[in-house]
């Protein structure tokens, strides 16, 4: 069934124990050498965020909004909708941070991208340097990509020891609820001829 609405990762706060396994798994899934914490070849930078408020704890991440405000405000068309959620093309990101400001759940982050064991660099203007510019690690828009290139699906869902995380297909849920409700209606109007 083609999905009309974007899937997204949803956490059940009542099940979350705050262990951060989702953050670790997320970071590792986006880094080379991600077999164990000891074998990673780049710094950890998770794309969902365990958030503690009072006694409550729950990871928060991208909802892959249908009317994605991050995509709408991006001046360089680095953020766009696909049939597998809202995605970021880091090579087009200029680091303007408008997406961070506009995201209603705080899912966007400026993260370092590492390739071949080194941070991806960018040139920034600097009048004090002889060349008039210098290189520094680039900070680029980074958010949940639903582990689009991962065979096993989202790493956070797989890693959660309490099954608090799920990959949600909203239209599939709607359809399932419709069916459940239909079955529940089977008994109504049993008295023949009665007008409700």
Partner 1 sequence: MGAGDCVCIIGTNTTACHPVIGLGMMQAKRNGAQLIVIDPREIDLAREADVWLRLRPGTDTPLLSAIAGEIYNAGMVDVESVAASTEGFKEFCEGLAKFDAESVAALSEVAADDIRRAARCIGRARNTAFYYTMGVTQHTTGTNNVLAVSNLALLTGNIGRPKTGVNPLRGQNNVQGSCDMGALPNVLTGYRSVTNDDVRGSFEEAWNVTIPAEKGRTIPEMLNAIEEDKMKGLFVFGENPMRSDPDINHVEHCLHHVEFLVVQDLFLTETAELADVVLPGASFAEKDGTFTSTERRVQRIRAAVSPVGDSKPDWKILAELLERLGRPERYADVKDVFDEMRMLTPTHTGITYERLEAGGIQWPCPDESHAGTPILHVGNCMRGAGKFVPLEHREPAELPDAEYPLTLTTGRVVAHYHTATMTRRCFGLAGTWPEELVEVHPADAAEYGIADGDLIELRSRRGVATGRAWVTRRVPRGLVFMTFHFSESPANILTTSAADPVTGTPQLKVCAVAIRKLTEESTSVESLSIEEHASCHIA
Give the residues lining the site for partner 1 (CB under 8 A).
24, 27-28, 31, 33, 35-45, 117
Nearer to partner 1, 43 or 189 (CB): 43
Compare residues 39 and 133 and give the one whose CB is closer to partner 1: 39
Task: State the nearest-atom distance from the C-beta of 129 to partner 1, in Å.
Answer: 20
Mark residue 153 as left, alpha or beta (left: phi above 0; alpha: psi -120 to 50; beta: remaining): left
Tokens 């506009």, residue? 102
Q: 133-137 and 121-125: which strand pairing? A: antiparallel
Query: Do the beta carbons of residue 33 and residue 114 sit within 8 Å?
Result: no
Q: Where are the alpha helices (DSSP H) in 8-113?
A: 21-29, 69-73, 98-102
User: What's the min distance (Å) between Cβ of 39 and partner 1?
Assistant: 5
Closer to partner 1 by Cβ: residue 20 or 81:
20
Task: Using the minimum distance from each CB to partner 1, give the nearer residue, 89 or 109.
Answer: 109
> Cβ 181 to partner 1, closest distance in Å?
41
Closest approach of Cβ 161 to partner 1, in Å? Answer: 13
Q: What's the closest the beta carbon of residue 78 comes to partner 1, in angstroms? A: 25
Q: 36 vs 163, which CB is nearer to partner 1?
A: 36
**Surface-to-core class of residue 109, CB atoms within 10 Å of its CB (0-12 exposed, 13-18 middle, 19+ buried):** middle
How distant, in Å, are the alpha carbons of 3, 48, 55, 101 from that of 170?
A: 9, 20, 29, 26
């Amino acid at each position: 069934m083609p999905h009309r609405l974007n899937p997204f990762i949803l956490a059940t706060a009542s099940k979350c124990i705050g262990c951060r396994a989702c953050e670790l798994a997320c970071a590792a899934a986006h880094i080379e050498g991600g077999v164990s914490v000891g074998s990673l070849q780049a710094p950890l930078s998770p794309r969902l965020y365990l958030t503690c408020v009072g006694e409550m704890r729950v990871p928060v991440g991208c909802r892959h909004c249908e009317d994605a405000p991050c995509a709408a405000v991006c001046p360089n068309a680095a953020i766009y909708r696909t049939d597998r959620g809202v995605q970021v093309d880091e090579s087009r990101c200029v680091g303007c941070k408008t997406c961070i400001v506009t995201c209603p759940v705080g899912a966007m982050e400026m993260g370092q991208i590492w390739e071949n064991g080194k941070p991806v660099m960018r040139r920034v203007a600097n009048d004090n340097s002889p060349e008039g510019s210098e290189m520094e690690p680039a900070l680029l828009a980074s958010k949940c990509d639903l582990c689009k290139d991962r065979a096993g699906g989202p790493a956070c869902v797989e890693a959660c020891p309490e099954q608090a995380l799920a990959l949600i297909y909203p239209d599939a849920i709607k359809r399932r609820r419709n069916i459940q409700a239909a079955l529940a209606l089977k008994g109504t109007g049993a008295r023949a001829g009665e007008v409700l």
